[in-house]
Amino acid sequence: MRLSGQETKQLLQALQSAFSIEVELKQMVRTVLDENLDSIAGGSSLSATVFNLIEWARAHGRLEELVKGAYFENPKNPELQQFAQQFLNLSDNSKSQPGQNAATSIRPDSTQGRSVSQTAPLPPAEGATSKKTLTWLHLSDLHICKIRTGWDSARVLKTLLRDLKQMEKEYGLHPDLFFFTGDVAFGQIGSKPGETISDQFKEAHTFFEGIRTAFTPHIPKENVFLVPGNHDVNREEILSSQTSWLDQQRNLDDIIRMCQTNNREWRSCMERLADYRRFLSENGYDHLLTDPNRLIYAHQHTVEGVRVGIYGLNSAWSCGREGERGKLWVAGKWQIGHLKSQIDEADLHIALIHHPDGARVRLSPAWA
């Protein structure tokens, strides 16, 4: 994506209009680009910061990612909407008619979290003659922390629950499955009440129960599927020697062997997710703990006679540094192969992961 000088000016004005408060801009950059705004685009004013952000995105080939992400975070802003639709051919899916198998975005006017309710036609089961539909709700990047984001999150969550109930009432959208793909917590920021990641996970449980019970009938807990993100990691449990060792690795086979054998090095890396594991255990998500040492899982659900394979991947186990894009080891190819071997047959496969492709270590063509 290339912008002329005039187009750059339009984007600058659109981003300033959509994210007129610096904290909103910081949240957008963190959730969309997984970057720290102060680290990549400081400035003496909001205008200077936004300009530096655009220049950073241009230099790193992430301009389109920035525009798309900003638009999806605040699609109601007219200037950003016009820019995104003009230069990226994006459109507002919220006008989809009932009965259409279209993705419908539910995006409250905030940068706090993202949500999508989606219906998709299922492949016909053997011997089936009629079309069948699978509906799921997908949320991500809540970053819940009452003392940091409570001023905004209460409004957002209230709006989200209202919209979900309204969509069920007007369009009959009742999720068969509920997916949450990481960053439910804000992260360990201190030892006071509300600052610990364990307290944030308690808040998260209340949030999940509110979503799960917003529908009639309620979404069964065994139909709720979570995977961890980098904010779900307790950075106080990470040793600098672990990070240095991971950053020095160049052989994917060594990483896969560590994950596969569950050796001492692997167990040490997984300590950063001990609070997340405890959150799952204490709140009845035992179906997500079939492999507690790796925090990955494979489940098969049958919806209207169609077998759906669901795979939860752990891309957070090597997280723990600033500016770690392109530095994360996942062992994703091994995780997928290992999990798929646990599902005999499925008509539809759904894999859940927090990090985008650009976050992992580049070892083409292998998936690190």
Dmax (CA) for the chain in angstroms is: 66
Average pLDDT over residues 105-133: 48
Average pLDDT, the chain: 83
The pLDDT score that the predictor gives to residue 298 is: 97
3-class state of residue 305 by DSSP = coil
Would you say residue 341 has pLDDT above 60? Answer: yes
Average pLDDT over residues 319-327: 82
Greater model confidence, 109 or 4: 4
Average pLDDT over residues 275-294: 96
pLDDT digits (tens, 9 = 90+) for 159-190: 888 999 998 988 888 999 999 999 999 888 88
Ordered by start, the domain boundaries in the chain are 5-88, 93-367
- Which tokens go with 48? 């200077």
Would you say residue 320 has pLDDT above 90? Answer: no
Of 28-32, 213-217, 285-289, the one with minimum mean pLDDT is 28-32
Q: Is the pTM of this model over 0.85?
A: no
Would you say residue 253 has pLDDT above 50? Answer: yes
H or E segment to which residue 118 belongs: strand 114-122
The pLDDT score that the predictor gives to residue 121 is: 58
Confidence class for position 108, pLDDT limits 50, 70, 90? very low
**Cβ atoms 233, 143 nearer than 8 A:** no
Average pLDDT over residues 1-17: 88
Of 40-44, 266-270, 350-354, the one with minimum mean pLDDT is 40-44
> Alpha-carbon distance 67 to 21, whole Å?
18
The top-scoring range by mean pLDDT among 38-47, 100-109, 200-209 is 200-209
Confidence class for position 61, pLDDT limits 50, 70, 90? confident
pLDDT digits (tens, 9 = 90+) for 193-226: 888 999 999 989 988 999 999 999 999 999 999 9
Greater model confidence, 316 or 30: 316
The closest of 326, 291, 325, 286 to 311, measured between CA atoms, is 291
**Cβ atoms 276, 314 nearer than 8 A:** no
Would you say residue 228 has pLDDT above 90? Answer: yes
Fold of 93-367: Purple Acid Phosphatase; chain A, domain 2 (3.60.21)
> Alpha-carbon distance 349 to 77, whole Å?
36
**Cβ atoms 138, 179 nearer than 8 A:** yes
Residue 274 phi, psi dihedral angles, 5° rounding: -65, -40
The pLDDT score that the predictor gives to residue 3 is: 84
What would you report as the CA-atom Rg of the chain, rounded to the nearest whole angstrom?
21
